[in-house]
Every structure is written in structure tokens, then in C-alpha cells.
Chains A and B, each alone.
Chain A
Amino acid sequence: AQSVTQPDARVTVSEGASLQLRCKYSYSGTPYLFWYVQYPRQGLQLLLKYYSGDPVVQGVNGFEAEFSKSNSSFHLRKASVHWSDSAVYFCALSARQGGRALIFGTGTTVSVSP
């Protein structure tokens, strides 16, 4: 069965510090992988996505993620966080054949302290 696991429900970091959010997936093959961010009372916004090729994917606002087939992971990183990065971050996958549904992880709430 396809699934996405985000083991950290909540992460607190200081402004200017680095951030890593973990994402593990279960899928037979290589799925399409996504990171979305959700700000309060807003819809999800795409940060980045992985289709194929270079395992390190650059996204918006200085975010990047690295795909690892051997580890079934797609971790998100940012070198230096800003207070505006406080939000909920969701990792998601979709199948390469057939369905187009996004399967989401439970999300990680990031709080950036001054």
C-alpha cells in the first residue's frame, strides 16, 4: 500500500538556523513526490516536486529536497529559516500510473522563534 510518513509532528527552530523535515514513503517503484506548505486559513501551496533525474530538487523561498530511492525518503531542507516560514509542511506522493490522487503525510508544524 502507498503511504507517506512524517515522523516529526512539530519542530521548533530559531530564526536563521537550518531546518530539515523528514519524509519517508512506501511505494513499489518511484512515485512523484511533493512538498506543500499550508499557512493558517489558506490552501496548500507547492514548494517543490520531484519527477526524475537529479535527486536534489530546488523549490521556492530557498527550500530544497533530496530524493533517496534506497532510503525511500524525500527530506526537505532550508539553510536559514525566517519567521515567515512558520507553517505546516506536508509531504505527498502520487502514483506514476493510473491514479492521480495525492497521498499526504500527517504534516509537520514548524515554529520559528525570534
Chain B
Amino acid sequence: GPKVLQIPSHQIIDMGQMVTLNCDPVSNHLYFYWYKQILGQQMEFLVNFYNGKVMEKSKLFKDQFSVERPDGSYFTLKIQPTALEDSAVYFCASSFTGGANTQYFGPGTRLLVL
């Protein structure tokens, strides 16, 4: 099936540093998502993005978070500055349309903030 890639697979950084998580979505998809999963807990929605804009975001999407997809390249999640509680696995997803359309997930980026 369609593949979503995420780079890097693991990232360890010091608290206060900036980190950028990269997502290569399915090529013809138009909607992009980030989810956060803390170890042992459920996956939680952060943000979705369409046509160059944030469409909706959750309360977990703090002011330190930003997303963009410049010129149709990677869909990125930037955290600046990072905090200890940002340690989690971040999953990117994409879908062709919104609504009930299937979201395809990447394998996740494991972020550890020290």
C-alpha cells in the first residue's frame, strides 16, 4: 500500500534545542497530520494541514510547535524550544481527502529530550 516515510527514525536532543521532524507523505495526498504518542499511552492528534495552512490543532499543539510544507517537499514539524514533556513518538499521516478518507501513517520518529 501507500507509504509514508519519516526522517529521522530516532532523535535525541537537549532540552531547549530546536528539532525538526520530517515526513514524506504519499505523493498525491493533500491532507497532512501529526500525532503524538507517549510510551504506553494512546496516540493523540496534534495538527492537520491542507493547502498550505493549519486546518485544526489540538491543545497539545503548543506555541513552540510549527508545521510547514515548503514547495511540496517534506511536511515538517518543528519544536522550538523543546521541553522534557515533548519526549514521545511522533507519527505523520497523510490522506488524499479529508473526512472519512483513510489516513496512512508513517513508522514514527522517536524523540527523546534530555
Interface residues of A (CB under 8 A from B): 32, 34, 36, 41-46, 49, 51, 90, 94, 96, 98-107
**A103 CA / B107 CA spacing, docked (Å):** 18
CB-nearest residue of chain A to B105? A43
Contacting residues of chain B (1-54) with chain A, CB-CB under 8 angstroms: 1, 4, 6, 31, 33, 35, 41-45, 48
Q: A100-B48, A106-B42 are in contact. Are A43 and B107 (CB under 8 A)?
A: yes
Q: Nearest-CB distance from B36 to chain A (Å)?
A: 11
Q: Which residues of chain A are within 8 angstroms of B1 by Cβ–Cβ distance? A: 45
Interface residues of B (CB under 8 A from A): 1, 4, 6, 31, 33, 35, 41-45, 48, 55-56, 58, 91, 93, 95, 98-100, 102-108
Q: Is the CB of A32 within 8 A of B99?
A: yes
Main secondary structure of the interface of A (DSSP, over half): loop
Q: Is the CB of B107 within 8 A of A100?
A: no
Q: Nearest-CB distance from B69 to chain A (Å)?
A: 16
Q: Is the CB of A101 within 8 A of B105?
A: no
Partner of A43, one of B31, B91, B95: B91
**A95 CA / B44 CA spacing, docked (Å):** 15
Partner of B105, one of A41, A44, A51: A44
Q: A44-B91, A106-B42, A107-B42 are in contact. Are A101 and B33 (CB under 8 A)?
A: yes
Q: Nearest-CB distance from B40 to chain A (Å)?
A: 9
**A36 CA / B106 CA spacing, docked (Å):** 13
Partner of B100, one of A36, A49, A101: A49
Q: A99-B56, A100-B55, A101-B56 are in contact. Are A94 and B100 (CB under 8 A)?
A: yes
**A34 CA / B100 CA spacing, docked (Å):** 9
Partner of A102, one of B4, B45, B55: B45
